[in-house]
Chain A
Amino acid sequence: MSTVVSIEGLGVSFSTDAGAVKAVDGVSLSVERGEVLAIVGESGSGKTVTAKTILGLLPETATTSGAVILSNKAGTAQHDVVSISKRSLRAIRGTDVAMVFQEPSTALNPVYTVGWQIIEGLRAHSDLSKKEARAKAIDVLRRVGIPEPEQRIDHYPHEFSGGQKQRIVIAMALVLDPGLIVADEPTTALDVTVQAEILDLLRRCRDEFGMGIVLITHNMGVVADLADRVAVMYQGKVVEEADAKTLFSAPKAEYTKALLAAVPYVGTGSAKTAERAAARPEGWTEQAPVVAAQGLEIVYPGRFGKPGFRAVDGVDLVIRPGEVLGLVGESGSGKTTIGRAIAGLTKVTGGSLRVLGHEMNGFSEREFRPLRSRIGFVFQDPASSFNPLLTIAECVAEPLIIHGRAGDAAAARPRVDELLEAVQLPKAYGDRYPHELSGGQRQRASLARSLALEPELLIADEPTSALDVSVQARVLELFAELQREFGFASLFISHDLAVVDLLADRIAVLYHGRLVEEGTGVEVLGSPRDPYTQRLLASLPVPDPVAQAERREELRRIREAN
């Protein structure tokens, strides 16, 4: 085997407003032909910067030291990307190394056909005639699994689904037959079922095309599924490098152990759920539900006579006091819409939705406003859910002031301090501005704000999907702890089955706006009845290469059975 890229003593610094910031510090790595090297780390660990250095894609504010020796596929020529001229760098990009980006919908230019975009790269690097280039583009589209490539080549990016778009981005990377592909979080923007297909495709790139792949990801399940060798990065340094099986079975570095321990597994929540169910008082099921939906329908209006989009279609669900209902589904399944409808942010267009005894179909904001103090909401992105110009204490005091529990932010401060302590933030953090807190801290503050009025119902819309795994683990623990303490009912929305399993008493699975399955964690995750749930469950990669290989087989069986 020959080495495709070898990184030696790489250091990258950025100049920022606050002075120099070092992103990568003395990293040495190498990738062989036909090998997948996964670089794992949490946000800010320098993994993306390392990957971008291989293609010479760093912004002008970066200063680089060390060497990145890149060989072409035949192994006949070598270049040092760090010191090479811009012109030669352009010649290397595409032919020797190519990149697959995170977000396929932004990596493709919406005003050109996909064929044009593939041919563009081809013609930039070779003297192919238009016809030959087109034939080659069709061929590569077929190889990445686009059906009817002869017709589809003339389609525009918006005519493809997200997974297909990512296939096209991979096709663009493959078309010049480079020796190395750098894939930066290639599946993060995709749903799990699509993710499994893209991972299969990348595996084929390695096996059939003999490429080296540098896979950048934060998802340990993806690593276990695809990687041959893993490098764990932390604070700009490689803390551990090992082959995948060794790393998962016997991690050496403390950080790797912590990282692996923080990854949620499906099936860990069942014991807790059973415990909670046993502790419920008699007659609990007869209590009036906090939320009751019957035949709930939500249609977004269409434009100019076109039919509207049916986001939620005949959903029945019930949340009883003190119960956590986990709502799982892929993007577009309507799970967020249901959460927003319960909070009165989206209009209900059909069926019945009763929240705290108030009918939401045809509701008026004026009548519903008093009830808002009994509902809390935690948003997905902690970065944007705080007014950037108010301090954390002022933000947390907002609900108290609005509902007349306190005159102003200063009067609310004692209560705010209590709340910050409840979510385990130091009191002094109240004087900070949101941007001065990290993502996990902000999400804690967000929990504090939503709990300020001690609501009976808390709607959490993907509260941890913007966080790193280790931070996610702590926020989830905190959530469970607060739920025990305050005893609120909760609708916990997530795309991640493992996360929902940790917290929820019951799990509801949504698919295309319909509720396909509902039950306790043991029922839904242990023996799923609906084919969609089965597929969803099998698609979810587990952070264990051996177990993941078995699951892959199982997923193939399920796919073939359908």
Chain B
Amino acid sequence: MSTTESTPVAAPAPKRRLRDRIPVVHQLRQSVGLQRGMLITGLVVTAIFILTAIFAPLLAPYGFAQLRDADGPFGSQQPPSAEHPFGTTVGGYDVLSRTIWGAQTAILVIIIAVILSIFAGVLLGLLSGYFGGWLDRLLVVVCDAIYAFPSLLLAIVMAIAISGGQSNLWGGVLAAALSITVVFIPQYFRVIRAETVRIKAEAFVESAKVLGASNSRIMFRHVLRNATRTLPLIFTLNSSEAILTLAGLGFLGFGIEPTAAAEWGYDLNKALSDVTSGIWWTALYPGLAIVLVVLGITLVGESLNDLADPRLRGRRRVAQSAGVVAETSVVPGGTLTAGPGGLAGLEDEATFDEHGIEVKP
């Protein structure tokens, strides 16, 4: 090209550092004040929950279905003691061990439910939002119908269908996970569909269309990646809902047998009669576990949600008239000093942050 000589090579744009690009770490560094406190609390609680689930065999003093050790049976409804820090249940299980093992069941349900629902929901949402028409209308109606259906009722039906009322570990976990999946698919579907409809109208999708790109290329290369920004938020909020559904199932008696796996909701159900007779330890610890885990995950989700929105995000106040005046898109004397369209006055220093606010590096 004739203009090659006149084009100076600019330094490559400064890349954002790796630690600023990892999703949660980036938000953590970005947050200040109360929002940071909330996020850290949530992250710590969630981390404890995940670590507990992974290291349950090491942490728990006894197995989840263990009723006796070398010294004989544990005994029923024993108050907290040196051997049983949280006491024992009416069935004679160690409360501490069952609370720790319960984390494993809970995380299993979260993983299965979210994986199953996220793929189906995202794909359906993408297709429905992008193509529109009768497919869109049909899917929206189906999703609305599912919304109208009580999720717990659905879970009970699922539990009966999958395991015939007999609850082993996988039967119980799958029943909970699948019923949650059915309820969650519409959520992912709705979010991705709304984003797709919005992005479909953006100029870059039209420009891909004008270039002659095929529908699948536009959908997966241009729309999908731009539509997934809110997924981590629903993911966290759904995880806490998954735990609640599992606990609800267990509480209603559709959970997992104590010999198959530890499950907080089941323990709460069995502790129901204890509460009135002054036996507090059987209900307190599983209940506390549910509350803490749900709170922790919800805190992470809510903080991420706030931090993703520049209008909700808190910032440190700046000192009186601090900072440098941003270089703007104005070219000082550009038309005088630079040749036609030349680069002499073009701003190669200024960059933009992700919200389009121009800043000097």
Contacts and interface: CB of A to CB of B under 8 A. Distances in A.
Interface of A: 11-23, 25, 41-46, 61, 63-65, 234-237, 254-255, 257-258, 261-262, 343-345, 369-370, 372-373, 375, 377, 379-381, 383-389, 395, 398-399, 402-403, 418, 421-422, 424-429, 431-433, 435-441, 446, 449, 468, 470-471, 473-475, 477-478, 481, 485
Given A44-B330, A424-B7, A17 B315 contact: yes
Q: Which 3 A-B pairs rank lowest in CB-CB distance, beginning with the nearest?
A: A20-B323, A44-B328, A372-B212
Contacts of B221: 387
A438 B358 contact: yes
Nearest to A26: B321
B357 A384 contact: no
- Main SS of the interface on chain A? mixed
Given A345-B206, A387-B204, A424-B7, A22 B334 contact: no
A344 B331 CA distance: 37
A426 B318 contact: no
11 contacts: A61-B317, A255-B330, A261-B335, A345-B206, A345-B210, A372-B212, A427-B9, A446-B207, A477-B341, A478-B341, A485-B2
A387 B10 CA distance: 23
Given A21-B323, A380-B203, 15 more contacts: A12-B321, A13-B320, A13-B321, A18-B359, A22-B324, A61-B317, A63-B319, A236-B325, A345-B209, A398-B208, A398-B211, A403-B212, A435-B354, A471-B329, A481-B340
Contacts of B2: 485
Interface size grouping (class) on chain B: 35 or more
Given A372-B210, A387-B204, A19 B323 contact: yes
Contacts of B204: 384-388, 395
Interface in B186-226: 202-204, 206-214, 217, 221-222, 225-226
A258 B332 CA distance: 7
B335 A384 contact: no
A385 B199 CA distance: 11
B222 to A, nearest CB: 5
B13 interface: yes
Nearest to A254: B333
B327 interface: yes
Nearest to A384: B203
A399 B12 contact: no
Contact of A258 (B12, B207, B335): B335
Point out which of B320, B332, B338 has the most chain A C-beta atoms below 10 A from its C-beta.
B332
B323 A389 contact: no
Contact of A21 (B336, B347, B357): B357
Contact of A15 (B8, B30, B316): B316
Contacts of A61: 315, 317
Nearest to A452: B211
Given A43-B329, A381-B203, A402 B226 contact: no
Contact of B341 (A23, A25, A474): A474
Contacts of B350: 438
A65 B323 CA distance: 13
Contact of B327 (A17, A235, A429): A235
Contact of A234 (B332, B351, B356): B332
Contacts of A426: 7-10, 343, 348
Given A431-B12, A438-B347, A254 B332 contact: yes
Contacts of A370: 212
B330 A63 contact: no
A17 B211 contact: no
Point out which of A12, A422, A449 has the most chain B C-beta atoms below 10 A from its C-beta.
A422
Contacts of B330: 41-45, 234-235, 255, 468, 470-471
Contacts of A478: 340-341
A18 B353 contact: yes
A18 B357 contact: yes
B355 interface: yes
B329 A20 contact: no
A16 B3 contact: no
A237 B319 contact: no
A440 B326 CA distance: 17
Given A63-B320, A255-B333, A424-B7, A402 B359 contact: no
Contacts of B310: 17
B329 A439 contact: yes
B317 A63 contact: yes
A336 to B, nearest CB: 12
